[in-house]
Amino acid sequence: MKKFTRLSMLLALSVALNVIETSLPLLNGYIPGLRLGLANIVTLFIIYQFSFKDALYIGILRVFLVGILRTGIFSTTFFFSLTGVLLSIISMYFAKKYLKLSIIGVSVIGSIAHSTGQVLASILILQMSSMIYYLPWLLLFSIPTGILVGLICKQLVKFYERNLLVENF
Amino acid sequence: MNKNDIKLIIIILIIIIILFLIYFLNTNKANMAYVYYENDLILTIDLSNDEIYEVNGENGIVKIEVLNNQIRVIEENSPRHLCSKQGFISNSGQSIICLPNKIIIELPNTEIDTEVS
C-alpha cells in the first residue's frame, strides 16, 4: 500500500516536471525535440529504488497523462514520447544491470536512448528520413542533460535512503 | 562519476563526431523544396526564384519565403512558433517541420533523386 502511494506521488511529480520542462524551451527551439528531460529524474529514481516493472508502468502512464493533459492522446507527439520513454527505460535497465556505470552513466544512456527513440519514431511516423540530421545535435545535448539528471537523481536517492532509515526507526 | 561513465561519454562523443563528419561530407545545396500537408505534396518550390508563397496549414496560412537559394517560414499560427524561429535552411536533407500546422518543408537530396529516376 505504501508503495502504491509512493509510486502515485512519483507519477504526479513526473507529470508536473514534464509540464514544467515543456514551458522551458532550450536554445529557443532551434533544435526540435531538445529538452532537459527532467521527468527522467523520476524514471531513474524508480529504477533504482523500486523496480524495472514499476518504472515501465509509471513511464507509460506518464505519457498517457501528459497526452491527455497537453498534447492530445494518440497524436504524433504522443507516439514520439512513447517510443522515447520505452526505449530509454529499457536501455537504462540493461545499462544498470550489465554495465558497471554509476547513476550518472545510466542517466546519460537513458537520455541518449530517448533522443534516438524520438528520432526513430519521427522517421517512421512522419516518413521523413531527413530527421536523422538532427540526431547528432540531439545526442550532443543528451550528454550534459543526462549528467544533470544523473546528478539530481544521485542526491535524491541519497536523501531518500537517509529519510527512509529515520522513518523505519 | 566513475571511470566507466567517462569511458561511456568518450565513446558517445566519438560516435557524435563520426555522425557529424558523415553529414558534413554529404551536404550539398538543394535547388528544390517540397511542401507537404498531412503527408500530401501540396507545393514544389524552385529555390532559384526569390518569392513568397502562402499555403494553408491546420491553423491558417503559412507564409514561406525563398531568398538567395534559402527557404524559411516567416509567418504561421502555432503556440511556440518553432518553425519560424528555425530560420533559413538550404542544404539538401534539411527540413522545417511545423507540427501544429501539419506542414513539412523538405529539401530533397537531388543526387539520390536523379539516381532513382
B10 φ/ψ angles, rounded to the nearest 5 degrees:
-65, -45
Q: Any idea which fold A2-23+34-156 has?
A: Arp2/3 complex 21 kDa subunit ARPC3 (1.10.1760)
Q: B114 pLDDT band (50/70/90 cuts)?
A: very low
Residue B13 lies inside a defined structural domain of this protein: no
% of chain B exceeding 70 in pLDDT? 93
Q: Report the residue from B80, B81, B93 with minimal CB separation from A130.
A: B93
Q: Is the dihedral of CA A80, A86, A89, A95 positive or negative?
A: negative
Nearest C-alpha neighbor of A110 from the set A122, A126, A99: A99
pTM of this prediction exceeds 0.80: no
Contact B109, B92 (CB under 8 A): yes
Q: What is the pLDDT of residues A117-152, one digit of tens each?
A: 988 888 888 776 667 777 888 899 889 999 999 999
A contact residues 119-148, partner B, Cβ 8 Å cutoff: 126-128, 130-131, 133, 135-136, 139-140, 142-143, 147
pLDDT at residue B111 tops 60: no
pLDDT bucket at A92, cuts 50 / 70 / 90? very high
Nearest-by-Cβ selection for A112 from B4, B12, B39? B12
Evaluate if residue A32 carries a pLDDT over 80: no
Residue B113 reports pLDDT greater than 50: no
The confidence score (pLDDT) of residue B108 equals: 81
Please give the tally of structural domains in chain B: 1
B8 contact residues in A (CB cutoff 8 A): 99, 101, 105, 108-109
Where along chain A do its domains lie? 2-23+34-156
Is residue B7 domain-resident?
A: no
Cell numbers standing for residue A84:
522515447
Give pLDDT tens digits for B36-81.
888 888 888 888 888 888 888 888 888 889 988 889 898 888 877 7
Please give the residue of chain B at the shortest CA–CA distance from A34: B82
Whole-number Å distance between alpha carbons of A126 and A128 = 5
Is residue B14 included in any domain, yes or no?
no
Domain harbouring B80, CATH code: 2.60.320.10
Residue B78 is part of which domain span? 32-116
d(CA A118, CA A102): 25
**Average of pLDDT values for A71-90?**
85
Count of beta carbons in the 10 Å neighbourhood of residue B92: 22
Contact B82 A101 (CB under 8 A): no
Q: Do B86 and A101 touch (CB under 8 A)?
A: no
Which has the higher per-residue pLDDT, A123 or A113? A113
A98 interfacial to chain B (CB closer than 8 Å): no
The pLDDT confidence band at residue A91, using thresholds 50, 70 and 90, is very high
Would you say residue B5 lies in a domain? no
Cell of B36: 507537404
- Strand pairing of B103-106 and B32-37? antiparallel
Q: Which pLDDT band, with edges at 50, 70 and 90, does B116 fall under?
A: very low
| Contact across the interface for A109 and B104, Cβ inside 8 Å | no
Domain presence at residue B17: no
